[in-house]
Copies of this chain bind each other. A is one copy, B any other.
C-alpha cells in the first residue's frame, strides 16, 4: 500500500498525526511559501487554505503546479465562505477540487481515503462538496452522504450548474443557457420538468431538497 503524503497550509497537521492510527500510510507536512519542506514520493494531496495573507492561497496553488516536485499533487482548495467567483478562481489556478470550510480532520481523511480506495489515478478529479452533496466531475457522479444519486446526463449538468451558483436565484433562462442549450430554443417550462426529475432523483437517494422554487422567478440551490 502506497504512502499518501498530505500537505497542509494550516496547523491541522499536528492534530491529524494524533488522530490517525496507522501513521505509516500517511505523512504530514506543513506547506509554507517555499513549498513542501520534505521531498516525497508517491501520491500527494495538498489542502490549501484560501484565506492566507495576500491571497496567497491562489498563488500557492499556482506554485504547486509550477513546482516539479508537486506538479502531480491533488490540490484541494479550502474556501471559508462560499463564493462562486472564488471557486472558479481556485480551479483556474490549478486546484483539482475544493471544499467549503472550515477544514476538519474527518473531512481531510474522508477525502483521502475515499480517493485511495477507489484507486483513482492521477487524472485531475474535479469535485465539489456542498453540505451533504458531493459532485464528482470526473466520475460524473453525485452523492448525498456517500449515497449515489442516479442521474441522467442532463440532470447531472443541471445539478452541477445549480451547485456552482448556490444561494443565487437562477432564472429558467439562466439554466437553459447554463446547460448550453441553444438550438432549438428550449421552452422555459421545460426547466420545471428538469427540476422535477432532478428532485425525484435526489430524493430517491435519500437526500433532502436543496432546490428551492422562487415563484415567478426561478430556482435556487440552497446551501446550508
Contact = CB atoms under 8 A, between A and B. Distances in A.
Interface residues of A, number: 41
A2 B89 CA distance: 22
Nearest to A103: B54
A140 B217 contact: yes
A184 interface: no
A98 to B, nearest CB: 9
Contacts of A52: 100
A81 interface: yes
A82 B102 CA distance: 13
A107 B87 CA distance: 17
Contacts of A82: 51
A54 B107 CA distance: 7
Given A52-B100, A55-B99, A118-B85, A138 B167 contact: yes
Contacts of A53: 100-102
A153 B54 contact: no
A91 interface: yes
B104 A169 contact: no
B153 A140 contact: no
Contact of A110 (B55, B80, B168): B55
Nearest to A167: B139
A83 interface: yes
Contact of A81 (B87, B114, B214): B87
A44 interface: no
B100 A83 contact: no
